[in-house]
């Protein structure tokens, strides 16, 4: 068998996987596309190993390592996707671009002095300890 057949098949598999990464919005489908790309690489490794008639079969050994890495990648990737889906309610990649917590910290002043000046101006409150003013949520977030 010629080397061209598995090489063309691997190139087609790789292109389908690349298209899946670029066009899909679902995180699970993106992970499946990465698996297709890794399988295309595995096919090339085995085909070139057979074509070069390597006595050590290093292409096949490297393929086993690639399969082990792909299994670990899909396990960790699915765990991350499930955790994100549980927290956010979606696995749509476009909606997950902002992975930071959505709280009021973005609207707070940049320096800690501005937050503590507001609490000192308010004076002591019932929550203060030993006459010290109680820090509000805004002041706590800036410190």
As a three-state string, the secondary structure of 25-58 is: CEHHHHHHHHHHHHHHHHHHHHHHHHHHCCCCCH
Mean pLDDT of 71-96: 89
DSSP 8-state class, residue 126 = T
**Burial classification of residue 94, based on how many CB atoms lie within 10 Å of its CB (0-12 exposed, 13-18 middle, 19 or more buried):** exposed
Q: What is the pTM of this model?
A: 0.64
pLDDT for the residue numbered 88? 85
Q: What is the CA radius of gyration of the chain?
A: 27
Mean pLDDT of 23-40: 93
Query: Does residue 80 register a pLDDT over 50?
Result: yes
pLDDT digits (tens, 9 = 90+) for 47-60: 999 999 988 999 99
pLDDT for the residue numbered 92? 85
């Amino acid at each position: 068998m010629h080397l061209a057949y598995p090489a063309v098949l691997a190139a087609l598999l790789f292109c389908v996987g690349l298209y899946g990464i670029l066009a899909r919005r679902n995180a699970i489908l993106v992970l499946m596309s990465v698996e297709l790309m890794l399988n295309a690489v595995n096919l090339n490794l085995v085909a070139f190993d057979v074509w070069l008639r390597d006595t050590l079969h290093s292409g096949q050994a490297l393929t086993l390592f690639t399969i082990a890495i792909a299994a670990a990648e899909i396990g960790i990737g699915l765990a991350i996707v499930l955790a994100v889906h549980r927290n956010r309610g979606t696995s749509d990649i476009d909606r997950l671009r902002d992975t930071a917590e959505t709280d009021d910290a973005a609207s707070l002043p940049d320096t800690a002095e501005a937050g503590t000046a507001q609490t000192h101006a308010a004076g002591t409150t019932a929550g203060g300890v030993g006459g010290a003013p109680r820090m509000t949520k805004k002041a706590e977030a800036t410190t």
